Chains A and B, each alone.
Chain A
Amino acid sequence: MSGVIDLLFWAFGASAVVTGWLVFRTDSMVRAAYWLMASFVAVGGILVLLDAQFLGLILILMMAGEMTIMAIFMVMFMMNPAGLNPMTMVHQHRASIISGAGAFIVLALVALFANFLAEPVPTGAEPTVDLGVELLGGSMLVFETAGVALLAVMIGAVALVSQQGRFGDAEAGSLEPSLETEGP
Protein backbone atom coordinates (compact mmCIF):
# COMPACT_ATOMS: atom_id res chain seq x y z
CA MET A 1 0.00 0.00 0.00
CA SER A 2 2.72 2.45 0.92
CA GLY A 3 4.53 1.53 -2.30
CA VAL A 4 1.50 2.59 -4.32
CA ILE A 5 1.25 5.85 -2.35
CA ASP A 6 4.95 6.55 -2.95
CA LEU A 7 4.56 5.92 -6.67
CA LEU A 8 1.49 8.18 -6.85
CA PHE A 9 3.26 10.88 -4.86
CA TRP A 10 6.27 10.96 -7.16
CA ALA A 11 4.01 10.90 -10.24
CA PHE A 12 1.97 13.85 -8.91
CA GLY A 13 5.08 15.67 -7.72
CA ALA A 14 6.92 15.29 -11.02
CA SER A 15 3.88 16.32 -13.06
CA ALA A 16 3.26 19.36 -10.81
CA VAL A 17 6.85 20.54 -11.35
CA VAL A 18 7.00 19.72 -15.08
CA THR A 19 3.65 21.36 -15.90
CA GLY A 20 4.67 24.35 -13.73
CA TRP A 21 7.81 24.65 -15.85
CA LEU A 22 5.84 24.36 -19.10
CA VAL A 23 3.76 27.41 -18.06
CA PHE A 24 6.75 29.57 -19.01
CA ARG A 25 7.87 27.47 -21.94
CA THR A 26 4.75 27.36 -24.11
CA ASP A 27 4.09 29.81 -26.91
CA SER A 28 0.41 30.37 -26.22
CA MET A 29 -0.78 32.17 -23.12
CA VAL A 30 -4.03 30.17 -23.11
CA ARG A 31 -2.01 26.97 -22.99
CA ALA A 32 0.05 28.50 -20.19
CA ALA A 33 -3.16 28.99 -18.18
CA TYR A 34 -4.13 25.36 -18.69
CA TRP A 35 -0.62 24.10 -17.85
CA LEU A 36 -0.90 26.05 -14.60
CA MET A 37 -4.24 24.37 -13.97
CA ALA A 38 -2.64 20.96 -14.58
CA SER A 39 0.01 21.87 -12.01
CA PHE A 40 -2.69 22.77 -9.49
CA VAL A 41 -4.56 19.52 -10.16
CA ALA A 42 -1.36 17.55 -9.49
CA VAL A 43 -0.84 19.51 -6.27
CA GLY A 44 -4.45 18.71 -5.32
CA GLY A 45 -3.56 15.04 -5.77
CA ILE A 46 -0.55 15.47 -3.47
CA LEU A 47 -2.79 17.09 -0.83
CA VAL A 48 -5.20 14.15 -1.01
CA LEU A 49 -2.26 11.78 -0.47
CA LEU A 50 -1.23 13.90 2.53
CA ASP A 51 -4.56 13.15 4.27
CA ALA A 52 -5.97 16.60 3.45
CA GLN A 53 -8.73 15.35 1.15
CA PHE A 54 -10.95 18.40 1.62
CA LEU A 55 -8.15 20.87 0.87
CA GLY A 56 -7.04 18.92 -2.20
CA LEU A 57 -10.49 18.83 -3.72
CA ILE A 58 -11.36 22.49 -3.04
CA LEU A 59 -7.99 23.46 -4.50
CA ILE A 60 -8.87 21.62 -7.73
CA LEU A 61 -12.41 23.09 -7.80
CA MET A 62 -11.19 26.63 -7.14
CA MET A 63 -8.39 26.47 -9.67
CA ALA A 64 -10.60 24.99 -12.39
CA GLY A 65 -12.78 28.08 -12.06
CA GLU A 66 -9.94 30.55 -11.73
CA MET A 67 -7.96 29.21 -14.67
CA THR A 68 -11.01 29.28 -16.94
CA ILE A 69 -11.40 32.97 -16.12
CA MET A 70 -7.66 33.43 -16.52
CA ALA A 71 -7.77 31.87 -20.00
CA ILE A 72 -10.31 34.53 -21.02
CA PHE A 73 -8.03 37.27 -19.69
CA MET A 74 -5.13 35.65 -21.51
CA VAL A 75 -7.02 35.95 -24.80
CA MET A 76 -7.73 39.62 -24.00
CA PHE A 77 -4.10 40.45 -23.24
CA MET A 78 -2.42 38.05 -25.66
CA MET A 79 0.11 39.62 -28.00
CA ASN A 80 0.49 36.45 -30.00
CA PRO A 81 -2.88 35.07 -31.09
CA ALA A 82 -3.23 31.30 -30.90
CA GLY A 83 0.43 30.76 -30.18
CA LEU A 84 1.26 30.28 -33.83
CA ASN A 85 4.53 32.18 -33.59
CA PRO A 86 7.32 31.43 -31.16
CA MET A 87 7.00 33.65 -28.15
CA THR A 88 9.67 34.62 -25.66
CA MET A 89 8.78 37.66 -23.67
CA VAL A 90 11.40 37.77 -20.97
CA HIS A 91 13.66 40.36 -19.46
CA GLN A 92 16.60 40.06 -17.03
CA HIS A 93 16.65 36.40 -17.97
CA ARG A 94 19.97 35.36 -16.46
CA ALA A 95 19.23 37.08 -13.12
CA SER A 96 15.81 35.42 -13.01
CA ILE A 97 17.26 31.97 -13.62
CA ILE A 98 19.85 32.53 -10.90
CA SER A 99 17.21 33.77 -8.43
CA GLY A 100 14.85 30.88 -9.18
CA ALA A 101 17.59 28.26 -8.89
CA GLY A 102 18.93 29.98 -5.77
CA ALA A 103 15.50 29.95 -4.11
CA PHE A 104 15.15 26.25 -4.95
CA ILE A 105 18.59 25.36 -3.61
CA VAL A 106 18.17 27.28 -0.34
CA LEU A 107 14.71 25.79 0.31
CA ALA A 108 15.91 22.31 -0.67
CA LEU A 109 18.84 22.58 1.76
CA VAL A 110 16.40 23.56 4.51
CA ALA A 111 14.16 20.62 3.57
CA LEU A 112 17.03 18.13 3.60
CA PHE A 113 19.12 19.27 6.55
CA ALA A 114 16.76 20.87 9.08
CA ASN A 115 15.44 18.79 11.96
CA PHE A 116 11.66 18.81 12.02
CA LEU A 117 9.43 17.25 14.63
CA ALA A 118 8.16 13.84 13.54
CA GLU A 119 4.54 13.80 14.66
CA PRO A 120 2.48 12.51 11.75
CA VAL A 121 -1.28 12.55 11.56
CA PRO A 122 -2.43 9.65 13.76
CA THR A 123 -3.98 6.68 11.98
CA GLY A 124 -7.75 6.62 12.26
CA ALA A 125 -7.95 10.42 12.56
CA GLU A 126 -10.64 12.19 10.54
CA PRO A 127 -8.94 15.37 9.30
CA THR A 128 -11.96 16.64 7.37
CA VAL A 129 -14.25 16.38 10.41
CA ASP A 130 -11.61 18.02 12.60
CA LEU A 131 -11.18 20.83 10.07
CA GLY A 132 -14.93 21.45 9.92
CA VAL A 133 -15.19 21.65 13.71
CA GLU A 134 -12.16 23.95 13.81
CA LEU A 135 -13.52 26.26 11.07
CA LEU A 136 -16.84 26.78 12.83
CA GLY A 137 -15.35 26.59 16.34
CA GLY A 138 -12.03 27.84 17.62
CA SER A 139 -10.85 29.43 14.39
CA MET A 140 -14.12 30.95 13.26
CA LEU A 141 -12.67 34.47 13.47
CA VAL A 142 -9.88 33.58 11.02
CA PHE A 143 -12.34 31.95 8.64
CA GLU A 144 -14.80 34.84 8.77
CA THR A 145 -11.98 37.36 8.36
CA ALA A 146 -10.95 35.59 5.15
CA GLY A 147 -14.58 35.82 3.99
CA VAL A 148 -14.83 39.55 4.76
CA ALA A 149 -11.47 40.12 3.04
CA LEU A 150 -12.81 38.41 -0.09
CA LEU A 151 -15.93 40.62 0.02
CA ALA A 152 -13.73 43.72 0.33
CA VAL A 153 -11.69 42.48 -2.64
CA MET A 154 -14.82 42.07 -4.76
CA ILE A 155 -15.86 45.66 -4.01
CA GLY A 156 -12.31 46.90 -4.58
CA ALA A 157 -11.97 45.08 -7.91
CA VAL A 158 -15.27 46.54 -9.17
CA ALA A 159 -14.21 50.01 -7.99
CA LEU A 160 -10.85 49.66 -9.77
CA VAL A 161 -12.29 48.68 -13.13
CA SER A 162 -15.44 50.82 -13.16
CA GLN A 163 -15.53 53.46 -15.89
CA GLN A 164 -18.42 55.48 -14.50
CA GLY A 165 -18.94 56.63 -10.95
CA ARG A 166 -21.85 58.48 -9.38
CA PHE A 167 -20.43 61.86 -10.39
CA GLY A 168 -19.37 61.14 -13.97
CA ASP A 169 -16.03 59.51 -14.77
CA ALA A 170 -14.74 56.97 -12.28
CA GLU A 171 -11.76 59.09 -11.27
CA ALA A 172 -13.82 62.31 -10.95
CA GLY A 173 -13.79 62.16 -7.16
CA SER A 174 -10.10 61.31 -6.87
CA LEU A 175 -8.61 64.16 -8.92
CA GLU A 176 -6.98 67.00 -7.06
CA PRO A 177 -9.05 70.18 -7.01
CA SER A 178 -7.33 73.12 -8.69
CA LEU A 179 -5.77 75.78 -6.47
CA GLU A 180 -7.46 78.69 -8.21
CA THR A 181 -10.84 79.61 -6.82
CA GLU A 182 -13.59 80.39 -9.23
CA GLY A 183 -15.42 83.68 -9.03
CA PRO A 184 -14.80 86.56 -6.64
Chain B
Amino acid sequence: MTLEAVLLVSAALFGIGVYGALSQQSFVMIMMGLELMLNGAIVAAVGFWWGTTGGNPEGQLLAIVVMAVMAIEGAIGFALVTNVYRVRKADITEKLRKLRG
Protein backbone atom coordinates (compact mmCIF):
# COMPACT_ATOMS: atom_id res chain seq x y z
CA MET B 1 0.00 0.00 0.00
CA THR B 2 1.74 3.12 -1.26
CA LEU B 3 0.62 6.73 -1.58
CA GLU B 4 0.52 6.30 -5.36
CA ALA B 5 -1.92 3.38 -5.07
CA VAL B 6 -4.17 5.34 -2.71
CA LEU B 7 -4.18 8.31 -5.07
CA LEU B 8 -5.00 6.03 -8.02
CA VAL B 9 -8.09 4.70 -6.22
CA SER B 10 -9.04 8.28 -5.39
CA ALA B 11 -8.59 9.35 -9.02
CA ALA B 12 -10.78 6.46 -10.23
CA LEU B 13 -13.57 7.38 -7.79
CA PHE B 14 -13.33 11.04 -8.82
CA GLY B 15 -13.44 10.14 -12.53
CA ILE B 16 -16.55 7.99 -12.08
CA GLY B 17 -18.12 10.84 -10.11
CA VAL B 18 -17.40 13.33 -12.89
CA TYR B 19 -18.95 10.95 -15.43
CA GLY B 20 -22.06 10.47 -13.29
CA ALA B 21 -22.57 14.13 -12.45
CA LEU B 22 -22.29 15.14 -16.11
CA SER B 23 -24.23 12.31 -17.73
CA GLN B 24 -27.24 11.63 -15.50
CA GLN B 25 -30.55 13.32 -16.12
CA SER B 26 -32.22 12.72 -12.79
CA PHE B 27 -31.35 15.26 -10.08
CA VAL B 28 -30.83 12.63 -7.40
CA MET B 29 -28.46 10.64 -9.61
CA ILE B 30 -26.44 13.83 -10.26
CA MET B 31 -26.13 14.18 -6.49
CA MET B 32 -24.78 10.64 -6.30
CA GLY B 33 -22.07 11.66 -8.79
CA LEU B 34 -21.17 14.63 -6.58
CA GLU B 35 -20.98 12.36 -3.53
CA LEU B 36 -18.64 9.99 -5.39
CA MET B 37 -16.35 12.91 -6.23
CA LEU B 38 -16.24 13.94 -2.55
CA ASN B 39 -15.59 10.28 -1.70
CA GLY B 40 -12.48 10.37 -3.89
CA ALA B 41 -11.46 13.67 -2.25
CA ILE B 42 -11.64 12.08 1.22
CA VAL B 43 -9.46 9.16 0.12
CA ALA B 44 -6.88 11.58 -1.33
CA ALA B 45 -6.92 13.83 1.77
CA VAL B 46 -6.44 10.95 4.19
CA GLY B 47 -3.84 9.39 1.88
CA PHE B 48 -1.79 12.60 1.92
CA TRP B 49 -2.18 12.83 5.70
CA TRP B 50 -0.95 9.24 6.02
CA GLY B 51 1.95 9.53 3.62
CA THR B 52 3.32 13.06 3.73
CA THR B 53 2.56 14.91 6.97
CA GLY B 54 4.24 12.76 9.61
CA GLY B 55 0.96 12.28 11.48
CA ASN B 56 -0.02 15.96 11.83
CA PRO B 57 -3.67 15.80 13.00
CA GLU B 58 -4.67 18.86 10.95
CA GLY B 59 -4.62 16.57 7.90
CA GLN B 60 -7.43 14.49 9.39
CA LEU B 61 -9.32 17.71 10.11
CA LEU B 62 -9.47 18.37 6.36
CA ALA B 63 -11.25 15.03 5.90
CA ILE B 64 -13.76 16.02 8.60
CA VAL B 65 -14.43 19.28 6.75
CA VAL B 66 -15.02 17.31 3.52
CA MET B 67 -17.52 15.09 5.39
CA ALA B 68 -19.35 18.22 6.62
CA VAL B 69 -19.46 19.45 3.01
CA MET B 70 -20.96 16.09 2.02
CA ALA B 71 -23.73 16.39 4.62
CA ILE B 72 -24.42 20.00 3.59
CA GLU B 73 -24.57 19.00 -0.08
CA GLY B 74 -27.01 16.20 0.69
CA ALA B 75 -29.36 18.33 2.80
CA ILE B 76 -29.44 21.41 0.55
CA GLY B 77 -29.56 19.25 -2.58
CA PHE B 78 -32.62 17.32 -1.45
CA ALA B 79 -34.31 20.54 -0.29
CA LEU B 80 -33.72 22.11 -3.72
CA VAL B 81 -34.90 18.98 -5.56
CA THR B 82 -38.09 18.91 -3.49
CA ASN B 83 -38.72 22.62 -4.04
CA VAL B 84 -38.08 22.43 -7.80
CA TYR B 85 -40.41 19.46 -8.08
CA ARG B 86 -43.12 21.27 -6.14
CA VAL B 87 -42.90 24.48 -8.17
CA ARG B 88 -42.05 23.14 -11.66
CA LYS B 89 -43.06 19.47 -11.53
CA ALA B 90 -39.56 18.74 -12.85
CA ASP B 91 -37.49 15.74 -11.83
CA ILE B 92 -34.94 15.65 -14.66
CA THR B 93 -32.64 18.37 -15.92
CA GLU B 94 -34.26 18.53 -19.37
CA LYS B 95 -37.44 19.94 -17.84
CA LEU B 96 -35.57 22.95 -16.50
CA ARG B 97 -34.59 24.68 -19.72
CA LYS B 98 -35.62 28.10 -18.46
CA LEU B 99 -34.14 29.63 -15.33
CA ARG B 100 -36.98 32.12 -15.01
CA GLY B 101 -40.13 30.62 -13.59
| A is bound by B | yes
Q: How many residues of A contact B (CB 8 A)?
A: 84
CB-nearest residue of chain A to B81: A77
Decide yes or no whether A164 CB sits under 8 A from chain B. Answer: no
Please report the C-alpha to C-alpha distance between residue A111 and residue B27 in the assembled complex, in whole angstroms: 31
> Is there contact, CB below 8 Å, between B24 and A135?
no
Q: Check: A64 CB closer than 8 A to any chain B CB.
A: no
Neighbour of B71 across the interface among A66, A119, A156, A161, CB < 8 A: A66
Q: Contact flags (1/0) for B6-49 with A, using CB distance below 8 Å?
A: 11111111111111101111111100110110010011001111
Q: What is the chain A residue whose CB lies nearest that of B74?
A: A66
Provide the residues of chain B in CB contact with A49, threshold 8 Å. Answer: 1
Query: CA of A13 to CA of B97 in the docked complex: distance in angstroms?
Result: 39
Q: Is the CB of A36 within 8 A of B14?
A: no
SS class, residues of chain B in contact with chain A? helix
Interface residues of B in 59-101 (CB under 8 A from A): 60-61, 63-65, 67-68, 70-72, 74-76, 78-83, 85-86, 91-94
B60 engages A23 (CB within 8 Å):
no
Assuming A77-B26, A156-B76, is B15 touching A146 (CB within 8 A)?
no
Q: Which 7 A-B pairs have the closest CB atoms?
A: A100-B19, A104-B15, A111-B7, A96-B23, A107-B11, A134-B57, A96-B22
User: Footprint of A on B, CB under 8 Å?
Assistant: 1, 3-20, 22-29, 32-33, 35-36, 39, 42-43, 46-55, 57-58, 60-61, 63-65, 67-68, 70-72, 74-76, 78-83, 85-86, 91-94
Report which A residues bind B (CB closer than 8 A): 2, 5-6, 9-10, 13, 16-17, 20-21, 23-24, 29, 32-33, 36, 39-40, 43, 46-47, 49-52, 54-55, 58-59, 62, 66, 69-70, 73-74, 77, 79, 89-93, 95-97, 99-101, 103-104, 107-108, 110-112, 116-122, 125, 127, 130-131, 133-135, 138-139, 142-143, 146, 149-150, 153-154, 156-158, 160-161, 163
Name 27 A/B residue pairs within 8 A (Cβ), A-sorted: A9-B5, A20-B17, A20-B36, A24-B32, A36-B36, A39-B13, A39-B39, A43-B13, A50-B49, A52-B49, A62-B67, A62-B71, A73-B78, A74-B28, A90-B24, A91-B93, A96-B23, A100-B22, A103-B14, A104-B14, A108-B8, A111-B7, A116-B51, A119-B54, A120-B50, A122-B54, A153-B75
